[in-house]
A and B are shown apart, each in its own frame.
Chain A
Amino acid sequence: MFTFTVNGKKKQVDAAPETPLLWVLRDNLGITSVKYACGVAECGMCTVLINGKARRSCVVSVEEARESDITTIEGLPDNHPVKLAWIEKQVPQCGYCQPGIMLQTVDFLSRTPNPSEAQINQAMDDVICRCGSHPRMKQAIVLAAQMTAKQGG
């Protein structure tokens, strides 16, 4: 039995300790916004926030995630700057890659509240979007940063 918090709610699951958190979230807890695409930390679609940090859940075991605080896209409020910016800039095409990339953005902006283009390129260079929504992602990241600054100030 492993316990942790997902989006503020306590969860308990029975799974083999080495089971990737990705499959525990998807299959045991039914949180399917956490996507599978590669299983080897290459794409970023399974990203969740673990204690506020972006982690690729396909390579984090449920044992490692024990007692942690996990956030998936549903855990961000609907008016979260990243969500609003993603809609405003009409980012998603198929949309499959987006929840993971948005969560990685949340982590990135928490560390880099006013990113330069070079910083965005570097921070987001390890995610895959086969549809090619990158130009809009970039705009949305800048907008989300601006919105966060306004909200904070």
Chain B
Amino acid sequence: MKTKITRRSFLKNTSLVIAATAFSGSFTLFNASPARGDSALPFKPHAFLEIAADDGITVWVGQTNLGQGTHTGIPMIIADELDAAWERVAVKTALAAEPFKDPQWGAQVTGGSTSIRHRWDLLRKVGAAARQMLVEAAAEEWKIPAGQCTARDGRVLHPDGRSLSFGQLARAAAQRPMPENPSLKTPQAYGIIGTSRTRLDIPDKVMGKTVFGMDFTLPDMCIALVARPPRFGASLGAFDEKAALAVKGVVKVVPLENRVAVCAQTTYAAMQGRDALGVQWSPGSRPDLDDAALDKIYKDYLEKPGVTARNTGDVAAAFAKAHQTLEQAYKLPYLSHAQVEPINCTAHVEKERCRIWMPTQGQTGTQLTAAKLTGLPPEKVEVMTLPAGGGFGLRAEIDPVVDAVLLSKALNRPVKVMWTREDDFANDYFRPAGQSRIKAGLDKDGRLTAWSHKLAAPSVMSRLMPHAVEKGIDPDAVSGVRDMPYALPNLLVDYVMVNLPIPVGFWRSVGYSANAFAVESFMDEMAHAAGKDPVQFRLDHMEKDARPYQVLSLLAEKGGWNSPVPPGRARGVAVTSCFESFAAHMAEVSVNDKGTITVHKMVCAIDCGTAVFPDGIRAQAESGVIMGLSNAFHEKVSFAQGGVKTANYDAYPVLTMSEVPEIEVHIAKNNLKAGGVGEPVFPSVAPAVANAVFKATGVRLRELPFKRESLVKG
């Protein structure tokens, strides 16, 4: 997910800036008017930060709150460089706006674990610049050089012991020029970064006060459900508008392109109204598609010639000389996001403006979509990001925006489009399925000499970022393979793009989520073939002391890889590098005669550079383990008759309490640039478990979710 867009200078990003009367850009949820010249808000040095006369500090965040902890991590970074008193820091979500765009991507998006890693310098500079302005304001007041003043805990201190609070200094600070290159703290001076604070959003979530997208309501709002094609390529036939309108509470039936919306006063009426439509659909473009057919289709694709995504050294020559070779195939299913809050979007289109309230992960896309549909300039489209009940990538999609805007236009009133759980499974943009075949060679000392990896998978980027797909290579589809954390002399990666009408999209850790399973399982097979310890074998093929090497060593040390294994149990490991971070997992499992796998313990080691918010990282690592195990044991979307068969959680079980093992998390300590967290903690979970199962049983599980039949004894 990397598109290079020229990095704008810090100054340009901070160009809102400076005076008390400057455009504030701050908005409350319901009152979207900017607070201009409000004397209660005297110092807003940047769109991210506001310091009030009463010492209250507000950090405005443009990233989506999906519970990943960035709504605390981001304020921590700014507050640390500011030398703020943490107790006075509050976080608010901003309306979509230019300063909140990703400095590298040029769009406001929450994805790719970028929230902090793409703003690491920017966030620190905002805090540091504001601090410098406050210090200079105090120095001027006291008529002493700024160098003699220090800031601490929300105050600026005079050498003689006097002090002024940030609130007292706010007005004067607002008159000062914004420094372009404020001096940043050395990591040793951090007082908030790296400490375990409590999450700012948790009290409201516990009290039931958080207003998620689904909960948002406006006076006169309609709730709309949309009947969408139940099969790929199916076209809309007859429907009974009268029957829908006969349902009490149904306001209007609106046919849209190849779909029909029912707008009602209540959710239940909309549901009944949609059922009453009795929409007829054509059989669709691929009525043959079901699970068995798909398996065969993928197999066939794997036989087609691919495009070479990486070719290092000479694999053929290396195989010719190999002492031993091994070849295996791996299979990954389509996955649903299954985020708990179904997709929704509320829009209110008026003559001069359009407002959107949505738990979106893609603010810029939402804004541009609404602008296009309404004919309004983008700046007349206000996008308010609401807290999301999970997202994992799906919430960057614009389908609900299109429907909400079109319907609000049609009804001339606010409309909330919502999906039911069944809609959510049927209309997901799935994590692509994939099959791969890997062959590798060892020399007589048990060193890997060649690795040839062919994979067949659909392309997410072709739809979402076509410019990133070059010569038929989707960089996401091959991620985790062509950039595997091993230094191999001969590596060939071939990619076959699978073209099917099944929609695919970004899903937690994207390509790595699938490919790490194949790479790390096969790495384990090679270790076994070489007669080597799985950790040592991996280390032997990594650049010594590089970060993957260190994180795997940390895992082995802290997880006790070399300590005696409790009787009846076995251990497995896996490691990945992604999103500028490095993570490894160790699984401790047992398998009974019926083939039931019990995961007793998972240990995660992560190097994400500077660990900004350690407890938040720990929470994400726990989440990664649980979602990873859920993938390993349960998750697979089923298809039938050319459509999605999986309809609700009963057919798509996710991991529950009794299956959750003991989880241990170890965070590497260093002062490097902050890397991603939410995604790197996920891909190595499933292969670590599969490798432990092999150790316990001698049986390789080369497909997800695991099939336990192969493990049954006797």
Contacts and interface: CB of A to CB of B under 8 A. Distances in A.
Tell me whether A and B are bound partners.
yes
Contacts, number: 169
B96 interface: no
B185 interface: no
Contacts of B209: 33
Taking each of B267, B340, B656, B657, which has the highest tally of chain A beta carbons within 10 Å of its own beta carbon?
Answer: B657
Interface in B605-621: 615, 619
A93 B340 contact: no
A38 interface: yes
17 contacts: A27-B223, A32-B211, A33-B209, A35-B341, A37-B389, A78-B207, A83-B207, A93-B68, A94-B67, A94-B387, A97-B340, A98-B205, A99-B208, A124-B657, A125-B656, A125-B658, A127-B657
A65 interface: no
A23 B615 contact: no
Given A23-B268, A94-B66, A99-B208, A120 B340 contact: no
Given A26-B267, A90-B202, A37 B341 contact: yes
Given A95-B201, A131-B623, 11 more contacts: A27-B265, A35-B212, A36-B267, A37-B649, A43-B649, A93-B66, A120-B657, A121-B657, A125-B657, A132-B630, A136-B619
A95 B622 CA distance: 15
A23 B206 contact: no
Interface of B: 66-69, 198-199, 201-203, 205-212, 214-215, 217, 223, 248, 265-268, 338-342, 387-390, 392, 420-421, 615, 619, 622-627, 630, 648-650, 654-658, 660, 663
Residues of A contacting B: mostly: loop
A73 B208 contact: yes
Interface of A: 15-16, 19-20, 23, 26-28, 30, 32-33, 35-40, 42-43, 45, 72-74, 78, 83, 86-87, 90-99, 102, 120-122, 124-138
A132 B665 CA distance: 14
A32 B214 contact: yes
Nearest to A84: B206
A27 B206 contact: no
Contacts of A40: 421, 648-650
B338 A39 contact: no
Contact of A30 (B217, B340, B660): B217
Contact of A33 (B208, B627, B630): B208
B205 A92 contact: yes
Nearest to A137: B657
A73 B338 CA distance: 24
Contacts of A93: 66-69, 619, 623
Contacts of A78: 207
A44 B428 CA distance: 22
Contact of A96 (B217, B338, B390, B622): B390
Contacts of B656: 124-128, 134
Contact of A98 (B199, B206, B341, B627): B206
Contacts of B340: 35, 37, 43, 45, 94, 96-97, 128-131
